[in-house]
Amino acid sequence: MIEVSSDDARRGGLPYIGSQPIALAAGALLVIMLGIGSIALWRAYTGFSPEQERVTAARQLQARAAQASEQLAEKAKGLEVTQQESIDQLQVVQDQLQSVRRLLAAQQADTRRLSEQVASLNEAVDGLRQSFASVQASDASAPPSRNRAIRTRSHATRAAHHRVAKSH
């Protein structure tokens, strides 16, 4: 068995390390300094530094952000160009629509004019028919000379042509 002396009991059963606490602190400080120095030498030799990694990561983030910003600017410009092209196409379509409307109005005016001319010709034809009918009725009642009937028809035809020429 191990006997515990009274000095050991006061210290909690741990063996006594040394009588000089300053020497112990100096030794611990020396071990810590050697550790820090070895870490510094290791970083200098390998080139590994967390600060450099952080700076590199920050620069990469800045580069990505700048690239994303440039891409957004390019897309915005593309959208602007597309929008302007759409506006230009819409303007062309509106101009074409105005032209079609003008042509339609002109065609309607021509149709009205031609309808009026057809009506005038119908009136002239009706007039000729009535004239011819009256000539035939007078032929039935009294036999006129053949020359007089020809003159009457010729006169009616000239009047009809005169009316058509006026409508033009």
Q: What is the mean pLDDT of each run of 10 residues along the chain (168 residues)?
A: 53 57 90 93 74 84 94 95 96 96 96 96 93 83 57 64 61
Answer yes or no: is 13 within a domain: no
**Predicted local confidence at residue 152, as pLDDT:** 63
Answer yes or no: is 54 within a domain: yes
What's the structural domain count of the chain? Answer: 1
Answer yes or no: is 60 within a domain: yes
pTM: 0.40
**Predicted local confidence at residue 60, as pLDDT:** 93
**Predicted local confidence at residue 56, as pLDDT:** 85
DSSP letter (8 states) at residue 13:
S
Residues 6+ apart with CB under 8 A from 124: 159, 160, 163, 164
**Predicted local confidence at residue 18, as pLDDT:** 58
CB-based contact 135:152 (threshold 8 Å): yes
Answer yes or no: is 10 within a domain: no
- In which domain, by residue range, is 48 found? 21-167
**CA distances, 97 to each of 52, 94, 128, 130, 158 (Å):** 67, 5, 46, 49, 46
**CA distances, 55 to each of 63, 65, 66, 69, 130 (Å):** 12, 15, 16, 21, 111
What span, in angstroms and rounded, lies between the C-alpha atoms of 71 and 76?
A: 8
* Among the listed residues 133, 126, 135, 118, the one whose alpha carbon sits nearest the alpha carbon of residue 160: 126
Give the dihedral sign, CA 95/97/98/100. positive
**Predicted local confidence at residue 146, as pLDDT:** 54
Answer yes or no: is 11 within a domain: no
CB-based contact 120:164 (threshold 8 Å): yes
**Predicted local confidence at residue 137, as pLDDT:** 81
Answer yes or no: is 140 within a domain: yes
